[in-house]
């Protein structure tokens, strides 16, 4: 057992209350689905002020252990279990230029618009401030109801080389890949994954439970010969509802990996 440097907090009552209740949840004294004692009850139970209890419960909420509902109470959530929906991130190739991508159902028709590339997607495409076609979809898993936001970004520089992309940008992703392959390009794919706390609009659109992070995946499609990025898929999934699944295929090359370390661009 390694010496664990325990950081002693200068006693904060609300943290102590939160830790106590959290332990009670882990010990099973409060079962998932149960209601916690009401704020008034906890004020009496622990002999502290209402504000202290509220801060403690807020702590439990941001820890993802409970969820509060006005007029009803504070519900204990099931802790530790993996999210139900598994998002397959593999790509299969049935024939030359024919790509298979596991997909979720679409909630609505895709929304096509013209945007300027900025932020992470622009940086990864190496096309900051350049124009692109943006195709937005809301995906969902019928069996669990989990929602995800999908965006395809097609830089205008790519449509210049492969004009057919601009004709039907809202086609299936596999079709876009097919068109790129038919233009004589050899495709390689890289996924870049990060996570953050969702914005309020994302929280509403994807029905994200309280305090659950958002996982964001950028799939960059590049040309193998020139290493030039051609296309970007952005997928936003609520971490509480989705896992990502990657089959890791060993590469035979002796790991000729350039140490490409991204520097903070803003």
Partner DNA sequence: TATCATTTGTTCGTATGTATC
Partner DNA sequence: CGATACATACGAACAAATGAT
- The partner in contact with residue 24, picked from a second copy, DNA, none with C-beta cut-offs of 5 to 8 angstroms by kind, is none
48 binding a second copy? (CB under 8 A): no
- The partner in contact with residue 261, picked from a second copy, DNA, none with C-beta cut-offs of 5 to 8 angstroms by kind, is a second copy
DSSP 89-138: ---EEEETTEEE---PEESS--EEEEEE--HHHHHHHT-TT-EEEEEEEE
Instruction: Please list the alpha-helical segments (H only) found in 197-238.
Output: 200-205
Contact, 169 vs 112, CB < 8 A?
Answer: yes
Contact, 157 vs 126, CB < 8 A?
Answer: no
- The partner in contact with residue 48, picked from a second copy, DNA, none with C-beta cut-offs of 5 to 8 angstroms by kind, is DNA
Phi, psi of 160 (to 5 degrees): -65, -35
Q: Footprint of DNA on this chain (CB under 7 A)?
A: 9-15, 35-36, 38-41, 48-52, 54-55, 57, 68-74
Nearest CB to a second copy, comparing residues 71 and 254:
254
Q: Which 66-105 positions form the footprint of a second copy (CB under 8 A)? A: 78-86, 88-94, 99-100, 102
Using CB under 8 A, which of the segments 34-42, 153-161, 209-217, 224-232 binds a second copy?
209-217
Give least dist CB 198 to DNA, A. 17
- The partner in contact with residue 108, picked from DNA, a second copy, none with C-beta cut-offs of 5 to 8 angstroms by kind, is a second copy
Q: Which 145-204 positions form the footprint of a second copy (CB under 8 A)? A: 188-197, 199-200, 204
Give least dist CB 174 to a second copy, A. 11
Q: Could you count the other beta carbons within 10 Å of the beta carbon of residue 222?
A: 19
Cα separation, 166 vs 135, whole angstroms: 11
Among 34, 136, 172, 175, binds a second copy (CB under 8 A): 136
255 binding a second copy? (CB under 8 A): yes
Give least dist CB 211 to DNA, A. 12
Using alpha carbons, list the distances in angstroms from residue 136 to 7, 171, 221, 242: 45, 12, 18, 19
Cα separation, 163 vs 179, whole angstroms: 9
Nearest CB to DNA, comparing residues 39 and 233:
39
Element spanning 102, H or E: none
Phi, psi of 200 (to 5 degrees): -55, -40
- The partner in contact with residue 12, picked from a second copy, DNA, none with C-beta cut-offs of 5 to 8 angstroms by kind, is DNA
Give least dist CB 149 to a second copy, A. 12
Regarding beta strands 229-238 and 105-106, do their DSSP bridges make them parallel or antiparallel, or are they unpaired? unpaired
Nearest CB to DNA, comparing residues 66 and 125:
66
Contact, 247 vs 90, CB < 8 A?
Answer: yes
């Amino acid at each position: 057992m390694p010496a664990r440097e325990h950081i002693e907090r200068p006693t904060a009552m609300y943290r102590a209350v939160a830790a106590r209740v959290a332990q009670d949840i882990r010990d099973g004294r409060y079962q998932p689905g149960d209601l916690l004692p009401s704020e008034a009850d906890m004020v009496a139970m622990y002999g502290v002020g209402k504000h202290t209890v509220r801060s403690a419960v807020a702590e439990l909420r941001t820890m993802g252990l409970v969820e509060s509902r006005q007029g009803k109470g504070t519900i204990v959530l099931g802790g530790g279990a993996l999210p139900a929906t598994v998002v397959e991130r593999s790509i299969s190739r049935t024939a030359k230029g024919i790509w298979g991508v596991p997909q979720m159902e679409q909630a609505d028709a895709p929304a096509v618009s013209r945007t300027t590339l900025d932020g992470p997607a622009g940086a990864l495409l190496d096309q900051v401030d350049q124009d692109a076609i943006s195709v937005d979809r809301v995906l969902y898993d019928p069996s669990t109801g989990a929602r995800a936001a999908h965006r395809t970004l097609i830089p205008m520089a790519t449509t210049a080389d492969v004009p057919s992309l601009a004709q039907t940008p809202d086609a299936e992703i596999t079709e876009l890949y097919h068109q790129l392959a038919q233009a004589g390009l050899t495709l390689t794919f890289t996924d870049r994954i990060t996570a953050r706390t969702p914005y309020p609009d994302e929280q509403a659109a994807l029905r994200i439970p309280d305090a659950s992070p958002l996982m964001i995946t950028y799939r960059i499609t590049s040309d193998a010969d020139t290493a030039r990025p051609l296309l970007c898929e952005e997928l936003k999934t609520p971490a509480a509802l989705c896992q990502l699944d990657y089959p890791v295929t060993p590469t035979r090359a002796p790991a000729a990996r350039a140490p490409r370390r991204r520097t903070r661009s803003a």
